[in-house]
Amino acid sequence: MSRLILVLGDQCSERLSALREADKTSDIVVMAEVAEEATYVQHHPKKIALIFSIMRKFAAKLRQDGWDVRYSELDDTENAGSIPGELLRRAEETGATDVLATEPGEWRLIEALSDMPLKCRQLPDDRFIASHEDFEIWAKGRKTLRMEYFYREQRKKTGYLMEDGEPAGGKWNYDHDNRKPAPGEIDFGGPMHFSPDETVEAVLDLVESRFGNWFGEARPFWFATTQEEARRALTHFVKHALPWFGDYQDAMMGGERFLYHSVISAYMNVGLLDPREVCDAVEQSWRDGDTPINAAEGYIRQVIGWREYMRGIYFHEGPDYPRRNGLNHQRALPPLYWGAETHMRCLAQTVEQTREDAYAHHIQRLMVTGNFALLCGIDPAEVEDWYMRVYVDAFEWVTAPNTVGMSQFADGGVIASKPYVSSGSYIDRMSDYCSDCAYSVKKKTGEGACPFNLLYWHFMDRHREKFEKNPRMAQMYATWDRMKDDRKETVLSEAEVFLDRMSKGETV
């Protein structure tokens, strides 16, 4: 009896566990562009275009390899509109009663597949280095689940940057060397661009017709849509940017959206690149003497450390994790996140490039858009929804822990030992945004004072009971306590005025 082999849009990999266990001579691959997946959040049009393009090309490749592929395009008249609906339709069409799937990356879909009248066996997604069991074994009995210690175990397990059982160079972490501020210029033209072919152009037309009024634009579109193209993008990064990635990975520049970043996270998240081949290429560049160890270690840590840790936390914490609100923040997301005018150059620049490229690097996400949302007390569910909508690499297993845990401290400290908040001084130190901003980062109060300076102390004051005993925040509370009472009152009142104006929809 034939089985249905489900391949989701972020599972376009020939080494997918469901495909490896399937029988090409009898089983039937089911792939579908469905309205439910395209619209459960209003994804950036570039993200929808990327996934549909990859899916169509992967389906064609499977057919060439001899698979029977039943593929539904979004506009097919018989399209059921959901993954379970498409499986039921194909079961009726073929007589199949069993479904073989690789576990989805979101609780929502895992539960949907479990609730179908068809028998669906979900296999582990072993494209990741750490299985659920691996993470649970590591987490068991620990008072805190800090990424650094998980990462060290991953290094030992994989052998990356290890020599005789010890970390290469004598240190596990070279983060101290990877905090250089924005340089005068960038000697890298950015990630490799690919011209849309006939398949991609057809998808772009579809996306523009169906989702053209959502945040962002489908065109221009330059992403890789095949494994071969993604590997070329990886090679391009390793050769031309990786040596400087470490030094400037936290820097931000108004005229340089990509700096020395790889912009390949989306390719790993959808299956075009395996994290092991990415780390293999990075480590080889270091062993060949082309990349310094701080850059190689910093990048590998992002892949086998942070990326794997995020997934581990997501599944460890359970389905309720994305809606946690440990600080009880209730303010609505302001219009400036959707492109409304703002005088804050750092936010204006980050949102603009997000709208145009569906991309911003990790410090822009954490210390600009994330930091501002946390300081303002914005509902973390709205922040999480925004990140899911606007980035091409956004999938809940990675976005929820990064946003709810790391960025908004809404999980109560599962991921971070303290909130990632800062005044304008951090953004000034790590970027060139402040040099041409309507606000003055040097001004702490009064007309033209940087809002981050006011909001930082407002955050610290309103959450004092929760954080004043945190040893990593004690010094800042001591600084606040040394301020004169009238200065404190001015800071807090001006912060309140700013928040009130923002909530009313005024340009801030």
For the chain, how far is it from start to end, CA to CA, in angstroms?
Answer: 64
Q: What is the mean pLDDT of residues 205-233?
A: 97
Q: How far apart are CA 312 and CA 131, in angstroms?
A: 8
User: CA–CA separation, 160 vs 431, rounded Å?
Assistant: 32
Check residue 182 and give its pLDDT: 85
Question: What are the structural domains of the chain?
Answer: 4-123 (3.40.50.620), 132-190+241-316 (1.25.40.80), 335-503 (1.10.579.10)
Give the mean pLDDT of 379-397.
98
Calpha distance 446→498 (Å, rounded): 11
pLDDT, tens only, 91-123: 999 999 999 999 999 999 999 999 999 999 999
SS3 331: strand
Q: What's the pTM?
A: 0.96
| Mean predicted lDDT score pLDDT of the chain | 97
User: E strand or H helix at 48, and its extent?
Assistant: helix 45-64
Number of H helices, E strands in the chain: 24, 7
Classify 449 as helix, strand or coil: strand
Q: In this predicted structure, what is the pLDDT of residue 377?
A: 98
Average pLDDT over residues 190-195: 97
What does the alpha-carbon distance between residue 268 and residue 231 come to, in Å, rounded to a whole number?
11
* Tens-place pLDDT, residues 258-273: 999 999 999 999 999 9
- pLDDT attached to residue 160: 98
Task: Give the pLDDT band of residue 184 (cuts 50, 70, 90).
Answer: confident
Per-residue pLDDT band at 176 (split at 50, 70, 90): confident
pLDDT given at position 10: 98
Q: How confident is the model at residue 279 (pLDDT cuts 50, 70, 90)?
A: very high
* pLDDT above 70 coverage of the chain, percent: 100
Judge whether residue 36 has pLDDT over 80: yes
Average pLDDT rounded to a whole number, residues 339-357: 98
Q: For position 96, what pLDDT does the model report?
A: 94
pLDDT at 369 over 80: yes
> CB atoms < 10 A from the CB of 355, how many?
16
Beta strands in 36-87 (DSSP E): 68-72
**Locus of tokens 């459960």:** 40
Say if residue 342's pLDDT is above 90.
yes
Residue 1 banded pLDDT, cuts 50, 70, 90: confident
Nearest 5 degrees, angle CA 200-CA 204-CA 205? 120
> pLDDT tens-digit profile of 441-456?
999 999 999 999 999 9
Are the C-beta atoms of 95 and 2 separated by less than 8 Å?
yes
Segment 172-196 shows an average pLDDT of: 92
